[in-house]
Amino acid sequence: MKNFRDSLVITFFTFVLTIIVALLSYSWIESISFFPAVIILIIIILIGVVSDMVGIAAAAADEKPFHAKASKKVFGAKKGLFLVKHANRVSNFMCDIIGDICGIISGSLGMIIVIKMANNWQVPKSWIDLFILSLIASLTVGGKSFLKSYGIKKANEIILLVGKIMASPTLIKNVFKKH
């Protein structure tokens, strides 16, 4: 029953997050020129690919080194340990929610770019559509394939880096708190 409830929460969260990301990215894409639109598309593809790597790394990381680093007060180790202890949720969030949302949004953004190209450059929409969507799919799948294997091989290093990134706002807050 808990799994069903958690799945419903994830479904609702994904629905809301997708609407927010789609509205933001669509409004940007429609209001800017072609090349910045392509840059936004590439950034969204990269976010999806990297998020999959982090999700895989969380599942593949070993908890023991994080205990040792946390006891030695290595910056980011406590956050990394949290990620490893909650690997199932981290992997689900990073791979299934963030990664999949980025995949869906990138396909939609690709269609908007195709329409811009067809309208501005008088190119046949069907061939450009086929090329752009195939390019998006190949960059996404190829990137995920490469970074997933990297995520498995370098899991502890990746999770420590993510832990440091997560701990950075706390560090900044503490620096300004002291002064």
Task: Annotate the chain with DSSP letters as a single string.
Answer: -HHHHHHHHHHHHHHHHHHHHHHHHHHHHHHS-HHHHHHHHHHHHHHHHHHHHHHHHHHH--HHHHHHHHHTT-TTHHHHHHHHHTHHHHHIIIIIIIIHHHHHHHHHHHHHHHHHHHHHH---HHHHHHHHHHHHHHHHHHHHHHHHHHHHHTHHHHHHHHHHHHHHHHHHHHHHHH-
Percentage with pLDDT > 70 across the chain? 94
pLDDT tens track for 118-139:
888 877 778 888 999 999 999 9
**Residue 172, pLDDT score:** 66
What's the Cα-to-Cα distance from 78 to each of 39, 172, 176, rounded to whole Å? Answer: 35, 16, 21
Domain ranges of the chain: 2-165
The distance of Cα 28 from the centroid of its chain, to the nearest Å, equals 19
**Residue 178, pLDDT score:** 57
pLDDT tens track for 137-162:
999 999 999 999 999 999 999 999 99
